[in-house]
């Protein structure tokens, strides 16, 4: 076998248990909230997506650094572009077309559309409100937050590597940044009286939701540092109960100032043990559901589902109004459309990303074959 072939053979797919299931649950929370079901914490679903994104991105960066001694900014951004932008723009073009033919309500604001195309729609909404967006594309604000985070975090992680910061030190820095973001939100809410979309959708006030996931990835990572076991330890059970308790407080305490200042921090801390247990103990009764094949399949489609679901909700509600059967129809259409996006766009791009990952880990001085 050639050295290139041996290198590829060594790089079996890196799969983290339960994450697709987490994606599926997060999407359903968002969908049910957007479909109008009461008492569904749809915003929490977005927070889970943020945490998961920070955890997964940092885990992959860490693996790359451990295997090659460095990280490639070029390949990182190429992989992110291939992961996000093709379905992102495909669904935006679809929503634009549906608006032009009258299947979606609302006039198109070219300034708002430009903000989405150039990935600053969250700050555009902060300044101008939601009215100018194409119906169903409001969710693009969260992608803007993630893309802004991707512009900054790899440089921070590369600095950790260059300075030789130990994993515990990296985690401490990331927790410190989470505290800074919470303090900034508290200043805006209690010092400036801002209780609005500013704290919910702006990148500078939501980065901590991803930073908590990054902190789990750099130290005590259940996919890299800790062996999987059948049952959690007593300490893990206690941490899990504490995490659930914090999440319940964040759901039940409805004071607006609390919700826009401290809530996201409580949720980040609460998600920490939940993610740890879900990844480390995928066969536990509590987490087995996340690894069922149908649930994992929905998780595989979750990105395209997230992009298309609200567009479908608006398409159904325009002629028929809201209701349970309309929600079922909107979900069914979303599944069909997202499957098409996954097969035609996401899957080919994923294969190309995989090739880039293999290339990144080949020896730098490869002999001619």
Q: Write the DSSP string, 342-363.
A: IIIIIHHHHHHHHHHHHHHTS-
**3-class state of residue 63 by DSSP:** helix
Token readout for 316 is 């159904």
Tell whether the model's pLDDT for residue 359 goes beyond 80: no
Q: How far is CA 260 from CA 143, 194, 206, 369, in A?
A: 20, 9, 10, 59
Listed in sequence order, the DSSP H helices in the chain are 3-10, 19-34, 42-68, 73-100, 110-117, 121-128, 140-163, 167-186, 197-201, 203-218, 234-252, 256-259, 263-280, 285-288, 293-300, 302-320, 324-341, 347-360
Tell whether the model's pLDDT for residue 365 goes beyond 50: no
Token readout for 104 is 């979606």
Residue 163's pLDDT band (cuts 50, 70, 90)? very high
Instruction: Name the residue ranges covered by the structural domains of the chain.
Output: 41-289+354-360
Contact predicate 51/209, CB 8 Å: yes
Tell whether the model's pLDDT for residue 222 goes beyond 50: yes
| % of the chain surpassing 90 pLDDT | 82
Token readout for 264 is 């996201």
Residue 145's pLDDT band (cuts 50, 70, 90)? very high
Contact predicate 295/216, CB 8 Å: no
Tell whether the model's pLDDT for residue 2 goes beyond 60: no
In whole angstroms, give the CA distance from residue 297 to residue 295.
Answer: 5
Q: Which residue has the higher pLDDT, 227 or 105?
A: 105
| % of the chain surpassing 70 pLDDT | 92
> Position of tokens 């309309």?
326
* pLDDT on residue 369: 33
Q: Long-range contacts of range 347-351, CB-CB < 8 Å, 24 or more positions apart?
A: 349/82, 349/83, 349/86, 350/82, 350/83
Count how many residues are written for the chain: 369
């Amino acid at each position: 076998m050639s050295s290139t072939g041996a290198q590829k053979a060594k790089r079996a797919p890196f799969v983290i248990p339960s994450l697709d299931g987490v994606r599926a649950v997060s999407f359903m929370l968002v969908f049910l909230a957007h479909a109008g079901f009461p008492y569904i914490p749809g915003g929490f679903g977005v927070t889970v997506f943020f945490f998961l994104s920070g955890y997964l991105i940092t885990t992959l960066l860490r693996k790359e650094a451990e295997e090659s001694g460095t990280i490639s900014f070029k390949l990182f951004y190429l992989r992110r572009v291939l992961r996000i932008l093709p379905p992102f723009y495909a669904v935006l073009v679809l929503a634009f077309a549906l608006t032009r033919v009258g299947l979606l309500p609302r006039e198109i604001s070219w300034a708002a559309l430009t903000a989405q195309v150039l990935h600053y729609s969250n700050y555009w909404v902060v300044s101008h409100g939601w009215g100018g967006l194409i119906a169903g594309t409001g969710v693009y604000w969260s992608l803007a937050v993630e893309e802004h985070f991707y512009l900054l975090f790899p440089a921070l992680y590369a600095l950790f590597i260059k300075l030789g910061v130990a994993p515990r030190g990296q985690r401490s820095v990331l927790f410190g940044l989470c505290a800074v973001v919470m303090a900034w939100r508290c200043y805006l809410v209690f010092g400036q009286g801002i209780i609005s979309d500013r704290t919910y959708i702006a990148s500078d006030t939501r980065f901590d939701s991803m930073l908590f996931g990054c902190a789990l990835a750099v130290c005590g990572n259940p996919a890299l540092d800790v062996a999987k076991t059948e049952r959690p330890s007593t300490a893990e059970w206690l941490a899990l109960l504490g995490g659930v308790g914090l999440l319940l407080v964040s759901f039940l305490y409805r004071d607006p100032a609390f919700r826009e200042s401290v809530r996201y921090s409580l949720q980040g801390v609460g998600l920490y043990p939940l993610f740890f247990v879900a990844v480390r103990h995928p066969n536990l009764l509590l987490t087995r559901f996340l690894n069922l094949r149908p649930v994992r399949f929905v998780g595989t489609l979750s990105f395209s589902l997230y992009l298309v679901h609200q567009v479908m909700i608006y398409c159904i509600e325009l002629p028929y109004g809201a209701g349970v059967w309309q929600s079922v129809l909107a979900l069914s259409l979303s599944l069909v459309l997202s499957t098409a996006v996954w097969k035609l766009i996401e899957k080919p791009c994923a294969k190309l990303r995989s090739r880039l990952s293999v290339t990144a880990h080949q020896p730098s001085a490869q002999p001619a074959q």
